[in-house]
Amino acid sequence: MKHSTGAMSLSRGADTTLTEQLSARFSERIRQRLLAPGTRLPSVRECARRHGVSPYTVVAAYDQLQAQGLVEARRQRGFFVREAMPEPVRPPAAKAPPAPLPISATTLMRGMFQPPGAHPMPGLGALPVEWLDLPMLATALRRVSSGSQLAPLALQYGQPAGDPRLRRALATRLADHGVIATPEQIITTVGATHGLDVVTRSLVHAGESVLVDEPGWSVEYARLAALGLRVLPVPRSEDGPDLAVMERLIEAHRPRLYVTVSVLHNPTGASLSLGSAHRLLRLAQKHDLHIVEDDSYAHLAAAHLPRMAALDALERTIYVSGFSKILVPNWRVGFIAAPVALVDRFVDTKLLSTLTTPSLLEQALAHCLEQGLLRRHAERVNSKLDAARSRAVKLAEQHECRFAATPRGLFGWVDVGVDTERLARVMLDDGWLLAPGALFHATPRPTSLMRINFATTQDAGFWRALADARSAL
């Protein structure tokens, strides 16, 4: 049941952040048994309204309580107080207060599921909703579900490898990038992340090692670690991975996979050079290594940028992509283009995880591809993104921030001059959700870098707030 926590006055002028204050108040009431085990905490929206803070402050506070073992998250139900654990016996000694918990990947991911707040969110990875073309998608869905077409799409399982019409359209789309794949080499998935998971589960086992880019996306680090895999970070520059470091790691640990974003790398926006791609493929051939090429930002990048799957004709490269970044976040359609010898293995893993994928959405996407609707939508988005990037770069530089990599694509890798972990906690209290640089390292470390979304950092008010928070630190 729901339980009132009583009035909690939070102070913006205190030495601790609103997140820490809110977490401490709940923690005190739980430890005093004023909130009994099984009690449901207020919803994020209700708690934010009650205490006059942003939903992101509440999410971060609940994350801290969960990390302390005081509450648990129940799927689609909320946060509940856990049964108290016995206190360990400790010798009496003066202890420093615990360090505040960092902004985590799950905080960012939960932010994706909150209703829009007062501010655009510089740390999130989605396009503004006003840039998306919902009428195009509605028309496509009506087209493929009209009349007798709906029954076979809705009343039966789809084909294990995915809808044949979409796989044909994807093969044509891949040819624009120079990637030659037959429809039989393509397996559809529930978004690109699911595609990465299918590949990983099919080719490596717990205890084995996987190479990743660093900086890279912490969700990928966490996903691999959750499978019991050892993550081997390879330093990533604008040109590509440090191949000398990679070869030393290969010789020491014998990894079987390297997972990389070759085009519009997250978080730097850099793309692999042609020379680096050739050297990387030679290294993979020498050491019997498969390269998983995550091209999630394909629609925001120039078609001519080199894809490794094109250079080696899908021999050692496994190509993964999706459409959530360009269509709408909830349109979870992705795909794998694979070497012929691996297709059946990937389909078997897909069957074990999702059975099949939704044919209705897949056919609607095929319609958008066949009619050129997605291509024209992507052109409009890229035009807006170019203008947004130009404005965001100017605002950043006006506020004494510098870019650690040439600004390209959706993301900027920006140096703000102070520890972005501390900065993110301060700005969260005022409703600005940042993506501090520590998130993008396999082992988090203090850094003055952070990732920004160019589409959501055009507000001069954000840069003023950042400058004020930086000065306060």
pLDDT at residue 426 in the model: 86
pLDDT of the residue at 309: 97
**What are the angstrom distances between the C-alpha of 409 and each of 218, 267, 381, 386, 416?**
19, 10, 11, 8, 20
> DSSP secondary-structure letter at 42?
P
134-145 and 359-370 helices, crossing angle to 10°: 110
pLDDT of residue 95: 44
Say which DSSP state 184 is in. Answer: G
Determine the pLDDT at residue 115: 57
Q: What is the strand order of the sheet 411-415 is part of?
A: 402-403, 411-415, 449-453, 435-436
Please report the pLDDT score of residue 85 as a whole number. Answer: 58
At 1 the pLDDT is 40
Go through the chain and tell me how many residues it has: 473
Give the model's pLDDT for residue 2. Answer: 41
Domains of the chain: 18-83 (1.10.10.10), 134-371 (3.40.640.10), 375-472 (3.90.1150.10)
pLDDT value of position 116 = 56
How confident is the model over 107-150, as pLDDT tens digits? 666 655 555 555 778 988 889 999 999 999 999 999 999 878 78
Cβ contacts of residue 162 below 8 Å, gap of 6+? 186, 187, 188, 189, 335, 356, 357, 362
Nearest by Cα to 440 from 164, 233, 293:
233
pLDDT at site 37: 86
Q: Which residues of the chain have pLDDT under 70?
A: 1-9, 13, 34, 84-118
| Per-residue pLDDT at 96 | 42
Confidence at residue 110, expressed as pLDDT on a 0 to 100 scale = 63
This prediction's pTM: 0.82
Helices 460-472 and 420-428, packing angle to 10 deg: 120
Q: Cα separation of 315 and 57, whole Å?
A: 47
Nearest to 279 by CA among 237, 235, 239, 243: 243
pLDDT of residue 348: 97
What is the C-alpha separation between 256 and 243, in angstroms, rounded?
Answer: 16
pLDDT tens readout for residues 230-273: 999 999 998 999 999 999 999 999 999 999 999 999 999 999 99
